[in-house]
Amino acid sequence: MAAEHAIALAGQTLLLLGERAVHWPDQRALLIADLHLGKADVLRRAGIAAPRGSTGADLDRLQALVERHRPDTLWVLGDLLHGPLHEAPWLARWRRFRAAHAALRIRVIVGNHDRAVDAGRLAIEREADAQVVAGLRLCHAPSAPGSMPYLCGHLHPCVRLPGVPRRWPAFSLRAQGLVLPAFSLLTGSSPPTATKSGAHFACVEGQVIPIGRRSHDALRRAGPP
């Protein structure tokens, strides 16, 4: 096991991190998806029991990644928020994170949960549409077949490991692009992904475990569509 795993996509080298993020060295960028800030607050307001401190834990993990990799840009591939933008403890925690990294450019691709995203209040750049960077389409949900290679979130992929009963969040590498796991620890995952359709990389306690390496090698040889 290793804390990161390099893949090639559209001629770009991307480092998959066991912390559920992607480091893109050539672009000096860090990418995450589905942070779902304030999810616990939304659940409690609806009368559903939810643990306190989940947003703080996620932002502590994100802060550690930013300090380790020193990116110029943080991309959030949709669902920065989970619901309304209330004045709540999680928002104050976000503002402290933002103040600590004031020079960091944060660009948010709007996802299906991001109706309340306010660029001014959150000190971010709001991107209403997908963005193209160095031949890769950055978006929230997978692109239609035939379009350029993509990086996205939304699906919350996961896998099972042999002999281990629980599911693990995973990167899902397909012929057309890469789906990132949800960064939020409170966010559930989709049903286990069949490994025959591509290569998958489980995120297990900060480590990356490749699954379906034969498919991964084939994808690398094929290159961009």
pLDDT tens readout for residues 4-22: 999 999 999 999 999 999 9
Pairing of strands 150-152, 136-138: parallel
d(CA 131, CA 150): 10
Q: Where are the beta strands (DSSP E) in 153-206?
A: 158-160, 167-173, 177-179, 199-204
pLDDT above 70 as % of the chain:
80
Task: Report pLDDT for 195.
Answer: 44
- Residue 89's pLDDT is what? 84
Q: Which domains does the chain have, with CATH numbers?
A: 4-222 (3.60.21)
The confidence band for 218, taking pLDDT boundaries of 50, 70 and 90, is very low
157 touches 169 (CB < 8 A): yes
**Position 127 confidence tier, pLDDT thresholds 50, 70, 90:** very high
Q: In what order do the strands lie in the sheet with 29-32?
A: 4-9, 12-17, 21-24, 29-32, 73-76, 105-109, 125-127
pLDDT tops 50 at residue 207 = yes
Give the pairing of strands 136-138 and 21-24: unpaired
* Cα angle 170, 160, 221; round to 5: 55
Amino acid identity at 142: P
Of 38-42, 97-101, 153-157, which range is least confident? 38-42
pTM of the complete model beyond 0.75 = yes
pLDDT for 223 beyond 70: no
- More confident: 1 or 62: 62
The residue with tokens 């599911």 is 167
